[in-house]
Structure 1
Amino acid sequence: MHTVAVLALDRVIPFDLSTPIEVFARTRLPDGHPAYRVRICGATPTVDAGAFTLRPPWGLEALRDADTVILPGCADPTAEIPGEVLAALREAAAAGTRMASICSGAFVLAATGLLDGLRATTHWLGTDLLAALHPAVDVDPDVLYVDNGQFLTSAGAAAGLDLCLYMIRRDHGSAVAADAARLSVVPLEREGGQAQFIVHDRPPTPRGSVLEPVLRWMEDNATREITLEDIAAQANMSTRTLNRRFREQTGTTPLQWLLRSRIRRAQHLLETTDHPIDRIAGQVGFGSPTAFRDRFKRIVGTGPQSYRSSFRSLSVD
């Protein structure tokens, strides 16, 4: 039987810890037999899990006997990983053990060096930090999970469930995975990446900068057709100077800034109204509903209808 070892370190996030335990332990093969044996492992006799203290039944030696090791996230991703933990993970990896991280568990896996040169992800709040601490890792902030074969990583919270179901499908096929998904009351696959869950705030307006008045004007007029020349005239600058100032003070171009403002307004309308999508396209300044759908999916990671299904306020229904 396939053994899954879930490693609980101090300040482990309980949600990340419980997800693989529940999903793998409840998975059944077509004949009704369990598909996995799950073991909770720790580096110490007791583990601080925040709201409770955990006593893992197995120690690090269980990692050597596992077919898959799951690394849940910890509350402090910058905490130093004990040397014996890193050594045990490297030893298990050398023996061919599959390793998967959930949320900030990617920081533990990256600390072993096993992700060097590979693509990986983590919760969108931590992607910049992961890239800064481990520059040899190719961090992708937009996806729900990444499969490198032996090493897999997932984004935050529910993306860990997506990854577990993906591994079940890889191990035992779609029928077994679909049954596991039904038990968890989730779809076997979700459309889009984690970009759809990132809060896209209003594009930054640098207070006191020479661009502040024109940025306010762009927000107020975002629903009508605006050209680069219109923005330059409003700012009393040449288009070349305008582009340079924008890149210096906002990190993007005027038209990209405007586009981001329109998409954020569209997200708000999708969440809070029942307006048809074609109408919303016009309300936020897109002349073509097709262009709106294309741009929305590029920026958010999923289509407007799927976004609405996931985030529409219950009060609108």
Structure 2
Amino acid sequence: MRNNRAMTFAPHRVAVLAVDGVVGLDLGTPAQVLGAARTPDGDRFYAVSTCTAGGHPVRSTAGFQVLPDHGLELVAAADTVIVPGVHGGGPMTDGTVDPAVAAALRDAHARGARVMSICTGAFVLAAAGLLDGRRATTHWAYAGLFRRLHPTIELDPEVLFIDSGDVLTSAGVAAGIDLCLHVVRTDHGSDVANRAARRCVVPPWRDGGQAQYIERPVPRDPANGTAATREWARQRLHEPVALRDLAAHARMSVRTFTRHFRSETGLSPAQWLLQQRTDHARLLLETTDLSVEQVAHRSGFGTATALRQRLHGRVGVSPSAYRRAFRSRA
């Protein structure tokens, strides 16, 4: 039974396309995160491989060279193509990229492959013409350069990632992890994505619309932060939790708590709490048979009407439609 099932299981093919000056962490993120997404039998949902133009070695920003196993023929056969971040070279200096790389990306997109970038990999997609007329993001520190090189592209440097369906872009460094987990969640549902996140020891979900951490240093004394209060609130999503309750738990004034909270999360307490309740409702819809009314109660929305309004505003569908969509993917 196991052998017969394995013979019919076809993992999603992912090509990680590295160009000269590739960022080391970005290069390894897809294989690590997507590779952690597995079936209950342990089979990988994604087969991730790395390639370069001509299969030639490229330099990384971390002082080592990347010797790939594949050339651009990998892009031609991939279901998803991911371009990691890059520092230097044509994409970052004059907005150009190797014509062979640009052609491979355009061809992949034209035949229906999903194309993604991590961090400054957006410069490569832009140079290939794949971001024309689209909204995109990249690392906030390079927003000015991106706008100078590509003034007609709508850049939003204050979000973690942007999913346009066939083309996805993410902000810097860890946002690539968020984007890969988002892809797993979209393809296979929250349960698979959460298990992949646990395997990688990272948070399972940060909303793409969450603000990048722009010039917001981590508090020097975690004991004076809001992490413990956030965890306390997560355990009480089904209960009314007011701002004064959060501040009291953190032993801060409302004003001080709000300031600390926003500096750590990029969101107001109310925005964060609504996000947590929505994500919990989505998880319950995907993984349980609870009625919409029960999901609304357990996630803190109170009524099915309130949940419907929130979910429709967030993802554009009703709770029942959302459940059908994700159950079919799972």
Q: What are the within-5 Å matches in structure 2 for residues 51-70 of structure 1?
A: 51-70=63-82
The match for 1:78 among 87, 92, 103 is: 92
**Distance change in 2, residues 1:274/1:41 (3 Å):** closer
Q: Which residue of 2 aligns with 1:303?
A: 268
Q: Percent identity?
A: 47
**Distance change in 2, residues 1:135/1:176 (3 Å):** same
* Residues in 2 aligned to 1:300 and 1:99: alpha-carbon distance in whole angstroms: 29
- RMSD value, Cα: 3.1
Aligned-partner residue type, residue 82 of structure 1: D
**Distance change in 2, residues 1:274/1:301 (3 Å):** closer
| 1:269/1:280 contact within 8 Å kept | no
The match for 1:124 among 111, 126, 140 is: 140
Q: Which residue of 1 aligns with 2:293?
A: none
| 1:24/1:164 contact within 8 Å kept | yes
| 2:160/2:212 contact within 8 Å kept | no
TM-score, L = length of structure 2: 0.63
Q: Which runs of 5+ in 2 are unaligned?
A: 1-10, 227-246, 273-330
Q: Which residue of 2 aligns with 1:21?
A: 31
| 1:144/1:194 contact within 8 Å kept | yes
**Distance change in 2, residues 1:269/1:303 (3 Å):** farther
* Deviation, structure 1 residue 30: 2.5
Q: Which residue of 2 aligns with 1:37?
A: 47
Larger radius of gyration: 1
| 2:216/2:264 contact within 8 Å kept | no
The match for 2:205 among 181, 189, 199 is: 189
Question: Are 1:2 and 2:12 counterparts?
Answer: yes
The number of residues matched between the two structures is 234
* Deviation, structure 1 residue 112: 1.4
Q: Which runs of 5+ in 1 are unaligned?
A: 202-266, 284-288, 308-317
Q: What are the within-5 Å matches in structure 2 for residues 1-317 of structure 1?
A: 1-44=11-54, 45-50=56-61, 51-76=63-88, 77-79=91-93, 80-190=96-206, 195=211, 197-199=213-215, 273=224, 279=252, 282=255, 301-303=266-268
| 1:296/1:304 contact within 8 Å kept | yes
Q: Secondary structure at the match of 1:78?
A: helix
Aligned-partner residue type, residue 57 of structure 1: D
* Deviation, structure 1 residue 169: 1.0
TM-score, L = length of structure 1: 0.66
Q: Secondary structure at the match of 1:114?
A: coil
* Deviation, structure 1 residue 98: 0.2
**Distance change in 2, residues 1:270/1:139 (3 Å):** farther
Aligned-partner residue type, residue 81 of structure 1: V
Deviations 1:69-99 (A, max 9, x none): 0000011251441111101110111101101
* Deviation, structure 1 residue 152: 0.1
Aligned-partner residue type, residue 133 of structure 2: G
Aligned-partner residue type, residue 72 of structure 1: P
